[in-house]
Structures are given as structure tokens and as C-alpha cells.
Amino acid sequence: MTNAHRPSCVSRVYRHRPGQTTRARCLFSALIGLRLAAWLGLPDCQAQRPAQNPMSETRQTPEELGYEVFWQDDFNGTTLDPQKWEVRGIGPRALGFVSPEAVAVEDGYLKLSALRKDGRILLGAVGTQGRFQTRYGYFECRAQLQRSPGIWAAFWIQSPDIAKGEDPAVYGAEIDIMEFFRKLGPDIVSHNVHWAYGPNQQTTRGMQSYRPGVSEGFHTFALEWTPEKYVFFVDGYRYYEVTQGLSHIEEYLILSMEIPSREEEIRHTNFPDVFIVDYVKVYKKKPAPPSPAPSPR
């Protein structure tokens, strides 16, 4: 989520699904990369990274991966559950202002808005800091993304200690499970990992998943976080595996509507807009079954 102290180029580990790529798709991917670079100010080496098709041919559920639900919120009440969430960072944020007025729980959904009121742009953001923090597992939300360019929906995990040092194993990392920049196209979802906030900040940057129709209706966005890697999923399809910036500390969840810092970037934004979340679930690995008792001899 941060744009500060971007390094020139940082290598990353990911795997692409085997198969031939058509010239048309290559050209399309290059254009997408150039648009991302122009908008976010990325160096040319990042601009060449194409939007990626799934690594997996079939969907995978967390249960199939050996997980079971550990923590969840289905937003079936009428207010934000204070045992699980707080409105995060009330106050100025880039061009906007995070406000409880932009957060609602109704009709079985969490609704995070971006809206104009009294000369300000109000933004919705919630987090679990101080209420629920954990490490490792499978983190998933089901959501409908915003309609407008300029603003963007985000589902991410943050470390409470990220600004205290540079080793992500000790101080944690910001893990952007999903960011949706409609300006990149209606079928592109972005993912990132950032660590070592400060002058030596590092980032994986440039991970983009191509998922046709992701801007319409509800979709799932997920991260599998293990001691060895991060794996990013959209609609149950595995897109990226990353081994950089691995955090080994407990972190907290964030859902937010974000806004850039320059007025020209919201010229085509239609307010109000909303990021609608159906549920958030955190899964942990199922305990291994007990070993059978030895047979009597």
C-alpha cells in the first residue's frame, strides 16, 4: 500500500503456468505493464512484467489444502463487531479522510465507501489490530470491487512492527493480498509484499493476476502464508508463489478503500463508490490425526 522509498528493481520468485503465449497476449500484457508503470511511477524493469494467468488449472479450496476455519466474520449484524474490528486510522489519508461515516454493516455485508461530504472525500477502512493477530494460515475474503478508477479496494495484512527494523522475519511485512486498480483494466488484480519501511524499503511489486470478469459480482481473494512462502489466489486459482519478504510474526487484517495523493488521478472517479465484503475467513492447518495404537502382540 505504500509508495514511499521505492527501490529501482527488486527480483522476485514466481512461476508461470506452462504453455504457449500468443503474440496478441504478449502485446496486451506489455501495454498493461506500461500503464501500471506510468500511473504508479514504476521503473521500466517492472513495466515488463505481464499480467499472469493462473498457475493452477483447477480451483482449490482451503479445505482441500488441509485447512479449517479458525476465525471469521460474516457481517450478519447491523454494526461492526468491536471484538473483531475497529475503524482504522481515522483522519487524513492521501486526498481523503478515513471516517466511520464511510463504514457500514447492513444486509449481511461490510460496506466500505468513498464519498464526498462537506468538501471532503470520506473513506472506509477497518482493521483487526489489537483484536486479532496471527501468523501463517489461509486468509480469504469474498467481495465485490469498486466501480470507479482512481480509488481502489484493498485486502491486506500488516505488521505492527514493520517500521522498527528491516528484517521481515523479525519485524514483519505488509502483504497486499488484493488491490484492484480499475485503471489497469477490469480483469486485473494486483498483489504486493513490502518490508523494511524506511530508506531501504523493499518490495516485490508488479504481481498482476488476469481473472476475466473479476470486476463484476463477487469473487474470492486469498493468501496462503507459510514459513516458506506466500501464495496468492483469486477465485480459488493459484496465481503467484513468493519467497521474498517472509514474515514470521503475528500480523493483523485490513480491509480498506484507498485514494491517491494527486487530484488529477481522481478526475474520472464517480463518487460515491463502495467496496462490499461478504465475509472474511482465516484458516489454520488441520491437526494431524493421531497415530493408531500399536496392535497387541
Residue 39 has pLDDT above 80, yes or no: no
Question: What are 86-134's pLDDT values in tens digits?
Answer: 999 999 999 999 999 999 999 999 999 999 999 999 999 999 999 999 9
> Which pLDDT tens digit goes with each residue over 45-77?
333 356 899 998 999 999 999 999 999 999 999
Domain assignments of the chain as residue spans, ordered by start: 20-50, 56-285
CATH of domain 56-285: 2.60.120.200
* CA–CA separation, 63 and 69 (whole Å): 9
Rounded to whole angstroms, the Cα distance separating 12 from 243 reads 8
* Whether residue 166 has pLDDT greater than 50: yes
User: Which residues does 297 contact at the CB level (< 8 Å), separation at least 6?
Assistant: none
Q: Is residue 35 scored above 60 in pLDDT?
A: no
22 pLDDT exceeds 80? no
- The three state secondary structure string of 179-239 is EECHHHCCCEEEEEEEECCCCCCEECCCEEEECCCCCCCCEEEEEEECCCCEEEEECCEEE
Rg for the chain (alpha carbons), in Å?
Answer: 19
1: cell is 500500500
- Per the prediction, the chain carries an average pLDDT of 87
* pTM (two decimals): 0.84
